[in-house]
């Protein structure tokens, strides 16, 4: 059984049905009836007029958002383990034409207002130094922690005071909402977030993510950037339809709750001694000897090593809870 990655999971049935339903003649690019409903659907979700665009990957969504916030000569403050730094092949540098990522430390891949503020303090305001232009956080983080609304808000205050655009990598935003129970608005625009990537692919989508601008004016240039990056699909309705299907009846939340529940079951089995971080989404980082890991793999469980003496499990929307229970038992039995 695979606990490698939520990217390995299939698309959920409602998404497949939506693709079938959208499979008819319509206007090309994003002029179709599905794409045109995106702004409204996200505006409803966030309780605010927003501008929403589809993109086929989280990397594209993140970097189009960052390019809208940060000029080529600016820098983006982010955690040193942020996905945009560690796993996007330098895409931020490509989309921004060379802007820098300024890397900050922080427990569990979380930033604090202090580290952000200090990083700004260290930069001389002259032409020799790259000036901070944007702040980027990931919620849930790369280590499976969820920022609470007030944590985001204090970061938003620093961003505002420092004149930084505020970007949220929401590849697992659904998991953070599911875990915290917070209003999506409180985790985003009410906390000062300007733009977010809203992840669907890890959560049951096929190949559609959303890019949401809470200030539509900041999105103005983005349709051009998207096209210029080769991300304006000619049959965009198939992306929009996926997203709309997942927003309907809060399927995005339902799926995320399922993945979180699986992770929680494993976390309880692992116990706080073994857990490197509290489990607040659908990822677990677990201390385990190579022998212990081998014994689990011998039972058919697949997962990544994550540094010496640590392994990572990721759960998905479609996780079979019986199998999860068996893995939980196997972990308990180590």
Question: From the CB of 42, what's the least distance to its own copies, in Å?
Answer: 20
Return the range that interacts with its own copies (CB under 8 A); candidates 9-17, 39-47, 154-162, 283-291: 9-17
- Answer for which of 178, 195, 225, 270 binds its own copies (CB under 8 A) is 225
Distances (CA, A) of 52 to 12, 40, 170, 174, 239: 22, 8, 14, 16, 12
DSSP string of 44-65, one letter each residue: HHHTS--EEEEESSHHHHHHHH
User: Footprint of its own copies on residues 121-140 (CB under 8 A)?
Assistant: 127-131
* Cβ 52 to its own copies shortest distance, Å: 16
Residue 255 is a binding residue for its own copies (CB under 8 A): no
Shortest distance in whole angstroms from residue 59 CB to its own copies: 4
Among positions 50, 53, 77, 101, the unique one binding its own copies when judged by CB under 8 A: 101
The tokens for 253 are: 């939340």
Give the footprint of its own copies on residues 15-34 (CB under 8 A).
16, 19-20, 23-29
CB 225 within 8 A of CB 71: no
Kindly state whether residue 230 participates in binding its own copies, applying the rule CB under 8 A: yes
Residue 216 lies near its own copies (rule: CB under 8 A):
no
Phi/psi of residue 229, nearest 5 degrees: -90, 10
| Residue 103 binds its own copies (CB under 8 A) | yes
Residue 178 belongs to what H/E stretch?
helix 173-180
Among 161, 235, 297, 332, binds its own copies (CB under 8 A): 235
Q: Which is nearer to its own copies, 206 or 253 (CB)?
A: 206
- What is the Cα gyration radius of the chain? 20
Exactly one of 51, 79, 100, 190 binds its own copies (CB under 8 A); that residue is 100
| Interaction of residue 234 with its own copies, rule CB under 8 A | yes
Interface with its own copies, residue 288, by CB under 8 A = no
Q: How far apart are CA 15 and CA 328, in angstroms?
A: 30
When the beta carbons of 48 and 73 are compared against its own copies, the nearer one is 73
277-300 burial, b for 16+ CB within 10 Å, e for fewer?
bebbbbbbbbebeeebbeebeeee
Asked if residue 84 lies in contact with residue 225, where contact means CB atoms within 8 angstroms, the answer is no
248 binds its own copies (CB under 8 A): no
| Stretch of 39-47, 52-60, 210-218, 321-329 lying at the interface with its own copies (CB under 8 A) | 52-60
- Token reading at 95: 């989309």
């Amino acid at each position: 059984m695979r606990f490698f990655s939520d990217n390995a999971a299939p698309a959920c049935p409602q998404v497949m049905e939506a693709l079938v339903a959208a499979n008819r003649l319509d206007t090309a690019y994003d002029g179709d009836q599905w794409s045109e409903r995106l702004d409204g659907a996200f505006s409803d979700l966030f309780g605010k007029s927003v501008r929403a665009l589809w993109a086929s990957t989280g990397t594209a969504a993140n970097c189009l958002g960052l390019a809208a916030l940060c000029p080529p000569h600016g820098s983006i403050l982010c955690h040193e383990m942020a996905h945009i730094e560690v796993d996007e092949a330098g895409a931020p540098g490509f989309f921004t034409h060379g802007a820098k990522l300024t890397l900050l430390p922080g427990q569990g891949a979380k930033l604090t207002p202090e580290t952000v503020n200090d990083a700004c303090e260290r930069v001389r305001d002259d032409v020799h130094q790259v000036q901070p232009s944007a702040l980027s956080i990931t919620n849930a983080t790369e280590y499976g922690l969820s920022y609470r609304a007030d944590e985001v808000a204090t970061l938003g205050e620093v961003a505002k005071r420092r004149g930084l655009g505020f970007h949220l990598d929401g590849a697992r935003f659904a998991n953070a909402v599911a875990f915290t129970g917070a209003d999506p608005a409180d985790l985003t625009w009410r906390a000062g977030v300007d733009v977010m990537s809203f992840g669907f692919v890890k959560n049951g989508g096929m190949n559609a993510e959303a890019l949401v601008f809470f200030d539509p004016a900041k999105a103005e240039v983005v349709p051009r950037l998207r096209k210029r990056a080769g991300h304006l699909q000619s049959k965009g309705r198939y992306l929009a339809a996926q997203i709309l299907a997942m927003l309907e009846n809060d399927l995005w939340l339902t799926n995320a709750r399922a993945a979180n529940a699986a992770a929680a079951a494993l976390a309880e089995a692992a116990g706080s001694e073994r857990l490197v971080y509290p489990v607040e989404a659908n990822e677990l980082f677990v201390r385990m000897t190579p022998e212990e890991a081998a014994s689990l793999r011998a039972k058919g469980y697949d997962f990544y090593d994550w540094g010496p003496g640590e392994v990572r499990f990721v759960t998905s929307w479609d996780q079979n809870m019986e199998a999860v229970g068996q893995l939980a038992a196997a972990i308990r039995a180590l």
